[in-house]
Each structure stands twice: as structure tokens, then as C-alpha cells.
Structure 1
Amino acid sequence: MQTKWYTDVENANGKKFTINDNYDFMKVNEPFIRKVDMVDQPSHYQFDKFNAHAIIEAVGKTYKSASVFYHVGNALKYLMRSPRKNGLEDLKKAKQSIEFAIKSWEE
């Protein structure tokens, strides 16, 4: 039989291997355990040893206006997560946040 599909997987012990449509599968009823903390450390806000919160806080210290910083912080959040979450939609939100920041700066 010719292989139509395949994928690389990693088991619970960290061993990596390739499976394809020649494998036989069976359903195992085990409880689902989320490996990513979607409240405190969602993966779309993690960048190696840094997280978006720390980056935004560091940038925020340079702004004197809380209103301007609020909008800049939102823009940073959207820019950092866009490739991992909502793509173009997040880039448009970042653009809008920058426009709000400019308006606040000018007031």
C-alpha cells in the first residue's frame, strides 16, 4: 500500500517519530490535560524567555501619558501575537491602536 499521508509526532516521554496511514489506530479514553496555561502563559504571548507582558511593561516606562501608553501597549500586544493567533485581524487592531495613541498624544 502506498502512503498517502504522514506526520511527525512526539509521545509523552519526548520520543519523536513519524506515523502514516499504514498504522492501525485505536481510541484510548484518557482525560485531556492541557499542557499550556491559557490564563497565565498563553503560548501566543511567549517569546523564548520573555513574555508580552514584560515587554509591554518595559516599553510603558518610557511614556509619560497613561492614555498614550495604553494604546501603544495594545498595539504591541496585537503585533506580538498576530502571527500566532489572529493574523491580519490583529495587525489591523494594532494599526487602530496606534491611530488612537497618536490622537491621544496630540490632545
Structure 2
Amino acid sequence: MKIQWENITIKHEKSQDSGRFLAYYDGVEAGYIKYKWMENGNFNANGTLVYEEFRDKKIGRPLYDTLLNFAREKGVKIYPTCPYVVKLMLRDTSVHDLLDDDFKKENGL
């Protein structure tokens, strides 16, 4: 999978039990968002990192959007533990359908 935004390209790396979406800004690796598959078939979004020299390039949101699109395409839910993903998903009720049921129960949703 390869997705292109203005100056930003997202590539998907995956293994059997985890994966990450890597962001490239003008061809240079700029950050990633990662996940790990859970036993229930959903995945844990467990980390986002944008390298310091790219922090003003708005890399995080395309990574987050790619993660949400991936969950929708796969028909799975997200159990976020990455603070960035938790914050965005809790603020936006339009994506609560993507939250793992256990996460919803634990957070009173």
C-alpha cells in the first residue's frame, strides 16, 4: 500500500503480528504510526513518532488517517494506547465505531 499527499508519501510495512505506516516527506523518512494485532482480531495502535526535523510539516494527521482507513478496509477495530491516537479518537465521535469494544467499556463510551 502506498498513499500520496502533497509532499507526503505513506508506505505500509507489515509482519505477521504487527505493522507500521511510514511517512516520507519529499522522499525522506519523516515518521511512522505502528500497530500490533490482538488476539481478538483487532489491533492496538501503540505508537506514533514524527522525527523532530519534520514536526512542522503536519505528518501526524496523514499517518492517523491512513491507520483509520486501514481499519475500515480490514473491517477491524482499534484499541489505541498511543497517546496521540487516543486523543484524536476520543475527540472525534465520528470514529468511535472503530474503537475496540474493550476500550469503549474501559473509557465509558
TM-score scaled by length of structure 2: 0.27
Q: TM-score, normalised by structure 1?
A: 0.28
Computing the radius of gyration from Cα coordinates, the structure with the larger value is 1
Task: Give the number of the structure whose residues are more often helix, by fraction.
Answer: 1
